[in-house]
Structure 1
Amino acid sequence: MSGGDPRPRLASLSDVAGSARLPTYQPDDHGMGIVHLGLGAFHRAHQAVATDDALAAAGGDWRICAVSLRSTALAEALAPQNGLYTLIERGTEGTRARVIGSLSQVIANDPVSTLAALCDTAVKIVTLTVTEKGYGIDRANGGHDPSHPAVAADLDSPETPSGVLGLLTAALKLRRDAGIAPFTVLSCDNLPENGQLLRGGVIGFARAVDTELADFIAAEVAFPSSMVDRITPAATDQTLADAATATGCVDLAAVETEQFSQWVIEDHFPQGRPAWEAGGAIFVADVTPFERAKLTMLNGTHSMLAYAGFLSGHQFVRDVMGDTALAALVRRHLQAAGQILPPLPSFNMKAYAAALADRFRNPAIAHATYQIAMDGTEKLPQRIFAPAIAALDAGQPLRPFAFATAAWMRYTLGVSDAGERYALRDPREDEIRRLIQSVPRDAKTIRTALSGMPNFMPAQLARSEVWNDAVDDCLDAILTQGMPAAILAEASR
Structure 2
Amino acid sequence: MQNLLSSERLRAGLPARALDTGADVQYPGFERTAVPAGVVHLGLGAFHRAHQAIVFDRLLAAGDRRWGVCGVAMRSTALADALATQDGLYSVQIASAAGLRWQVPGALLHTCVATRERDRVVRAIAADATRWLTLTVTEKGYGPDLAALIVDGLAARRVAGRPGLTIASCDNLTDNGRKLQALCLAEAQARDAVLASWIGECCAFPNSMVDRIVPAATEAQREATAAALGVNDEAALSTEAFWEWVLQRRLADPADADALASAGVTLVDEVKPFEDAKLRMLNGSHTALALLGAVQGWETVADGIARPPVRRFVHAFMTQAAMPGLTRPELPQYRDALIERFANPHLHHRVHQIATDSSLKIPLRWLPALREALDAGRSVDLLAFACAVWMRYLQGRDEDGGAYALSDPHAQALQALAHAHADDTDALVHALLGFRPMWPPEFATDSRWVPRVAHWLRRIRAGGSAAALYEIAA
- Give yes or no for TM over 0.5: yes
State which of 254, 274, 278 in structure 2 corresponds to 1:294. Answer: 278
What residue in structure 1 maps to residue 269 of structure 2?
285
Q: Give the residue type in structure 2 aligned to 1:21.
A: Q
Secondary structure class of the residue paired with 2:40: strand
For residue 200 of structure 2, give the secondary structure of its aligned residue in structure 1: helix
Distance 1:446 1:58 in 2: 59
- Secondary structure class of the residue paired with 1:437: helix
Tell me which amino acid in the other structure corresponds to 2:209.
M
Q: Name the structure 2 match of 1:154.
A: none
What secondary structure, in the 3-state scheme, does the structure 1 residue paired with 2:373 have? Answer: helix
Q: Corresponding residue for 1:70?
A: 75
1:370 paired with 2:355, answer: no
1:396-439 deviations in Å (ceiling 9; x for gaps): 33111122222112212222334433221011222223433322
Alpha-carbon displacement from aligned partner over 1:283-312 (angstroms, at most 9, x marks no partner): 111111111111110000000111012111
Q: Residue 244 of structure 2 aligns to which amino acid in structure 1?
A: Q
Q: Give the C-alpha shift of residue 211 in structure 1.
A: 4.5
Aligned positions of 1:141-180 closer than 5 A: 151=144, 163-180=145-162
2:288 aligned to 281, 304, 311, which one?
304
Select the residue among 376, 380, 395 that pairs with 1:394: 376
Tell me: CA distance 1:67–1:441, structure 2 relative to 1, closer, same or farther (3 Å): farther
SS across alignment from 2:449: helix
Question: Counterparts of 1:30 and 1:297 in 2: how far apart (Å)?
Answer: 39
How many residues are paired up?
460
Would the aligned equivalents of 1:92 and 1:362 in 2 still touch at CA under 8 Å? yes
Contact 2:165 2:202 survives alignment (8 Å): no
Number of the residue aligned with 1:205: 187
Tell me the residue number matched to 1:116: 123
- The 1-side partners of 2:365 and 2:228 are apart by 37
State how 1:74-473 maps to structure 2 within 5 Å.
74-108=79-113, 109-110=115-116, 111-136=118-143, 151=144, 163-271=145-253, 273=256, 275-344=259-328, 347-473=329-455
Provide the C-alpha distance between the structure 1 equivalents of 2:461 and 2:196, rounded to a whole number of angstroms.
50
> Residue 485 of structure 1 corresponds to which residue in structure 2?
467
User: Greater RCO between the two (CA within 8 Å, min separation 6)?
Assistant: 1
Maintained 8 Å contact 1:338/1:350: no
For residues 190 and 455 of structure 2, the distance between their equivalents in structure 1, rounded to whole angstroms, comes to 45
2:1 aligned with 1:10, yes or no? no
CA drift at 1:479: 2.5
Where does the alignment leave 5 or more consecutive residues of structure 2 unmatched? 20-24
Q: Is the 8 A contact 1:18 1:245 kept in 2?
A: no
SS at match of 2:185: helix
Check the 8 A contact 1:232/1:257 in 2, yes or no: yes
The residue identity in structure 2 corresponding to 1:115 is: V
Task: Please tell me whether the aligned partners of residues 91 and 259 of structure 1 are also in contact (alpha carbons under 8 angstroms).
Answer: yes
Q: Which moved more, 1:168-177 or 1:286-295?
A: 168-177
Q: CA deviation at 1:382?
A: 1.4
3-state DSSP of counterpart to 2:91: strand
Contact 1:385-1:458 within 8 A present in 2 as well: no
Q: 1:22 corresponds to which residue?
A: 27
Q: What is the rounded CA distance, in whole Å, between the counterparts of 1:426 and 1:348 in structure 2?
A: 35
The SS at the match of 2:111 is: strand
Deviation (angstroms), 1:339:
3.3
CA deviation digits over 1:100-130, x for unaligned, max 9?
0000100124223222222222211110111
Cα deviation, 1:352-404, whole Å, max 9, x if unaligned, reads 11111111111111111111001011111111111111222223331111222
Aligned residue type for 1:68? A
The 2-side partners of 1:479 and 1:214 are apart by 54
Asked if the contact 1:24/1:56 (under 8 Å) is kept, the reply is yes
Gaps of 5+ in 1: 1-5, 137-150, 152-162
Identity of aligned residues (%): 38
Structure 2: distance between partners of 1:309 and 1:391: 25
Q: CA deviation at 1:460?
A: 4.0
What CA distance in whole angstroms lies between the structure 2 residues aligned with 1:187 and 1:165? 12
- After superposition, the Cα gap between the structure-2 partners of 1:355 and 1:85, relative to the gap in structure 1 and judged at 3 Å, is same
Contact 2:212 2:244 in 1 (8 A): yes
Aligned AA for 1:180? R
Q: TM-score, normalization: structure 2?
A: 0.92
Give the root-mean-square deviation of aligned CA atoms: 1.9
Question: Which amino acid in 2 is paired with 1:54?
Answer: L
1:482 shift after superposition: 2.3
Report the Cα distance in structure 2 between the residues aligned to 1:40 and 1:209, rounded to whole angstroms: 31
Task: Confirm or deny: 8 A CA contact 2:443 2:449 kept in the other structure.
Answer: yes
SS of the counterpart of 2:213? Answer: coil
2:297–2:398 CA contact under 8 A, matched in 1: no
Using structure 1 for the length normalisation, give the TM-score.
0.89
Is the 1:182–1:220 contact (alpha carbons within 8 Å) kept by the matching residues of 2?
yes
CA distance in 1, matches of 2:68, 2:453: 48
Name the aligned partner's letter for residue 471 of structure 1. V
What is the distance in 2 between the residues matched to 1:414 and 1:211? 49
SS in 2 for 1:115: helix
Picking from 24, 27, 50, the partner of 1:45 is: 50
